[in-house]
Structure 1
Amino acid sequence: MISLSDLPLRADLVGQEPYGAPQLEVPVVLNVNENPYPPSPAIRHEMAAAIVSAAGSLNRYPDREALGLRGDLAAYLGHGLAAENIWAANGSNEVMAHLLTAFGGPGRTVLTFTPTYSMYPEYARNTCTGYVTVPRNDDYTLDAKLVLDAITKHQPTVVLITTPNNPTGTTVDLDTIEAILEGSDVLLVVDEAYQEFSSGPSALELLERHPRLIVSRTMSKAFALAGGRVGYFAAAPAIVDACRIVRLPYHLSAQTQVIARVALAHSDEMLAQVRSLAAEARSFEDWARGRGYEVIDSQANFSLIGRFPDRHRVWQDLLDRGILIRETGPAGFLRVSAGTPEEMALLRSALDEIDPTLEGRAS
C-alpha cells in the first residue's frame, strides 16, 4: 500500500490535516453556526419538484453562468444590482478560492485581522498566496488606522474583513470600511456571511462608489441552506469576469441552482427565524454574563464565552452530555451557535452542571 509520505505532495502541504469541524451524531449540534430550522414541508416539496424538472435535462451540462440564480440573488440584495454584479459558487469557500485564484497567487499577499475565520489561511495556502495577519484591537474591533497601517506595511493585493466577525461576532462600521477604501487601492473583501443576523447596515451601500469593494455572502446560515452549498458576492462586473476566468467549467450543478432559486423565491419564509435566532444568542449571552462568564459582544447567530483554563475539558464535558459546540477563537473561549429554545435550555443546564471551580468560569 502506498502512503501519503510516498507521494510527491507539495512541500507546503506536508503534515497538514484536512479542515473540518467535528460532524458527530449527538442530540444538540451547536458548533457550525447552522440555522437549526429546516425549510418547511411546502418549500421542500417545491425544491423536490424543481429537481425533478431539472432531472429531465441532466444529460446536458447546467447553465455555466448561472444567470438565473445570479439575477435572483441580485434582486434579493437590491441596491440596484444586476446579474453581472453577482458571482455564485459552491459555498462562500469556493467564492473565496476564486477570488484568491484570480487576484492572489505567488508573489502576492492577502491580509486579514485575527482572530477571524479559520479557513482564510487555507484559501491562501491552496492558491499559493502569501498570508499575513495583524491582531485586532483588544475588544476584537477594527479601526481604519489599524487596517491602513497594516496595508502600508504589508502591501497586500487583497484584504479580508469579516463583519460580523467569526468567531467574535463583532462588526465593522461603514465609515471604517469607506475610510479603508479611500485610503488604499487594495481589493477589499467584506465577508458578510452573518449579515442577516446583524442590526447594522451592509457594505452593499458602498458598492456604487467603490469599484474595488467585494461584498461576500452565503445562503448557508440565515437561509438554512448549508446543505445546498451556495455562496456569492456582489462587486463590479470586472471582478465577476475575473472569477469567470478561473472557475471550473459548470461549477454549479443544475440541482444546486434550482434549489437556491426556490429558496430565494421564498426568502421571507426562509429568513423567518433570523430574528429569533439572533435573540436566542443575545439571551444566552445575558444568561452567561449572569453566571460570571466573559462574553464578547456579538451581532451574529453565535456567542463566544470564556475564559476557561482548559476549554477542551469543557468542550468534552458538554459533548459527554450530548451537546456539540466549537473549540475555536481566542485562547480560553468556546463558540456556541444559536439553536432552538429547547437546545439552548439543554446547554444552559449542562453548563450549570459543570463545576465552575474546575472549569474556569470568570469571577
Structure 2
Amino acid sequence: MDAVSPRLEDLPVRDDLRGMTPYGAPQAALPVALNVNENTHPIPKDVSDDIVDAIAFALRDVNRYPDREFTHLREGFADYLGHGLTREQIWAGNGSNEVLQHLLQAFAGPGRTVFGFAPTYSMYPLLTRGTGAQWVAGTRAHDFTIAADDAVAQVAEADPDVVILCSPNNPTGTPLSLEVIDAVYARSRGIVIVDEAYWEFAPREQQSALTLLPDRERLVVSRTMSKAFAFAGARVGYLAADPALIDALRLVRLPYHLSALTQAAASAALRHAPTMLAAVDEIVVQRDRISATLAALGYNPYESWTNFVLFSGVEDPAATWQALYDRGVLIRDVGLPGSLRVTAGTEAETSAFLDALASVTPAR
C-alpha cells in the first residue's frame, strides 16, 4: 500500500474516509514482475506502429475537445463483444475502475449499499466508500466457490442497491457460473454488475454473462483492455448494458472524460484484436504449467480462469515472498492466510518464478 502522511488526519477529510489506505501493490524494478496480473507479453511491432500512427493523427486536432460520446470507440467495442450489441449499449472509461466508479456514482452513494462475495477485488470496497456508500461483504465456500442457493440467501439478507460479481474472481481466479449470476439478478432489486476483467482467459467453450443481457435492464457486464489486450498502461475499460442504464452514466461522468489520444489508441488496438489476443493461449499454457508445478512442489493451486494462480499451503507467506524478491521475482501477498498469488508471464518469466520457488521450498 502507498503510505499516507500522518498530517492527513489534521485535514477536514470526510469522516468515512478517515483511517483508510489507498489501493496499491509493491512496485520494484525486479527482473521478473508477476504481482499485478499484467499481460507481460509486449505488443507486436506492427500493432504498436499502427497505434502510434493513430495517436499521431489524433494529435493534429488535440487543440479541440474529443468526441464526448467516443462514438467510434463504442462501435469498436460492440463489434468486438458481438452478441448483437450496438454502440448504444456500450460505455467506456479510463480503466475498468473508472467504469465501475461511474456505476457506483449513479446507483450507489450515501445511504445505499454495495454487496460482493469476499474475498474479491480489493478496489470494490474502496470505490464504494469513495462514493459514500456502504460495502457489505458476503462469504464464499472454503474453495472460494459460490453456490446459487447460498448466493441468493446472502443477497436476500443484505438487500443491496448494487451487487458486484467478479467473474472469474480476483484474487482467487475462481469461475462463476451463469446460474449464480441469473439467480442473483432474479433476487436483486438493484443493479447487478458482472466484472469480466479476465474473461478472455476462461475456457473458450464457456459462455460470458453477455448472453444474459437481453431483457435484463439492471444487468451490467464490464471488461478491460488491461489484461488480455496488454493495454494496462493505456487505461481503457468498458461495459455493456441496457441503453437506459448507459444514459444514467452520462449523469455522473466528467465532460470529455476519454481523451482523443486514448480513443485513438484503443480503437487502433481493437482493429488488431486477433493479433493482440494471440498471447492469451500462451499465457493459459503458462498458467496451467504453474498450477501443475505448484502441485508437484506440495502447494495447493486453486482453479483459475484468469492469467494468475492463487496457491495455498505456504507456511510463511511473508518469508516466501521476501525470498522470491531477493531472487529477483516479485509476486503478490493478497492477505489470504497461507497463500500467495502469481501472474502467468512469458515462458522465461514463468521458469524464473518456478525455479526460484523450488529453491526456497522446504523438502516434503
Fold match, TM over 0.5?
A: yes
Match of 1:177 in 2: 181
- 1:37 shift after superposition: 1.0
Paired with 1:16 and 1:113, the residues of 2 have a C-alpha distance of 20
Q: Which residue identity is paired with 1:66? A: F
Counterpart pick for 1:138 among 142, 155, 159: 142
Match of 2:39 in 1: 35
SS of the residue 1:215 aligns to: strand
Structure 2 residue 210 is matched with structure 1 residue 204: yes
Match of 1:76 in 2: 80
Q: Which residue identity is paired with 1:342? A: A
- 1:145 shift after superposition: 1.5
Paired with 1:4 and 1:140, the residues of 2 have a C-alpha distance of 36
SS of the residue 1:122 aligns to: helix
Over residues 171-221 of structure 1, what are the superposed CA-to-partner deviations in whole Å (9 max), with x where a residue is unaligned? 111122122222333311111000000012100011013221100100000
- 1:2 shift after superposition: 11
Match of 1:105 in 2: 109
SS of the residue 1:209 aligns to: coil
Over residues 216-247 of structure 1, what are the superposed CA-to-partner deviations in whole Å (9 max), with x where a residue is unaligned? 10000000000110001100011111111100
Over residues 265-323 of structure 1, what are the superposed CA-to-partner deviations in whole Å (9 max), with x where a residue is unaligned? 00000000111101210111011101110111111110011222321111111111110
Counterpart pick for 2:322 among 316, 322, 335: 316
- Aligned in 2, Cα 1:184/1:290: closer, same or farther, shift over 3 Å? same
Structure 2 residue 26 is matched with structure 1 residue 22: yes
Contact preservation (8 Å) 2:155, 2:184 = no
Paired with 1:59 and 1:16, the residues of 2 have a C-alpha distance of 39
Q: Which residue identity is paired with 2:159? A: Q
- 1:3 shift after superposition: 3.5
Q: Which residue identity is paired with 2:117? A: F
Paired with 2:18 and 2:217, the residues of 1 have a C-alpha distance of 38
Q: Which residue identity is paired with 2:224? A: T
SS of the residue 1:309 aligns to: coil
Structure 1: which 5+ residue stretches go unaligned?
Answer: 358-362
SS of the residue 1:356 aligns to: coil
Contact preservation (8 Å) 1:194, 1:300 = yes
Q: Deviation above 3 Å: which 4+ runs of structure 1? A: none
Identity %: 49
Contact preservation (8 Å) 1:26, 1:323 = yes
Paired with 1:59 and 1:235, the residues of 2 have a C-alpha distance of 32
Match of 1:160 in 2: 164
- Aligned residue runs from structure 1 range 1-363, under 5 A: 3-199=7-203, 200-356=206-362
Paired with 2:215 and 2:200, the residues of 1 have a C-alpha distance of 23
Q: Which residue identity is paired with 1:147? A: A
Paired with 2:98 and 2:6, the residues of 1 have a C-alpha distance of 30
- 1:16 shift after superposition: 2.4
Q: Which residue identity is paired with 2:192? A: L
- 1:67 shift after superposition: 1.0
Contact preservation (8 Å) 1:115, 1:329 = no
| Pairwise CA RMSD | 1.5
Contact preservation (8 Å) 1:207, 1:235 = yes
Bigger CA drift: 149-158 or 73-82?
149-158
Contact preservation (8 Å) 2:299, 2:314 = no
- 1:355 shift after superposition: 4.2
SS of the residue 1:246 aligns to: coil
Over residues 57-97 of structure 1, what are the superposed CA-to-partner deviations in whole Å (9 max), with x where a residue is unaligned? 11111111111101100010001101110010000100110
Q: How many pairs does the alignment contain?
A: 358
Paired with 2:62 and 2:287, the residues of 1 have a C-alpha distance of 42
- 1:10 shift after superposition: 1.4
- 1:329 shift after superposition: 5.0
Structure 2: which 5+ residue stretches go unaligned?
Answer: none
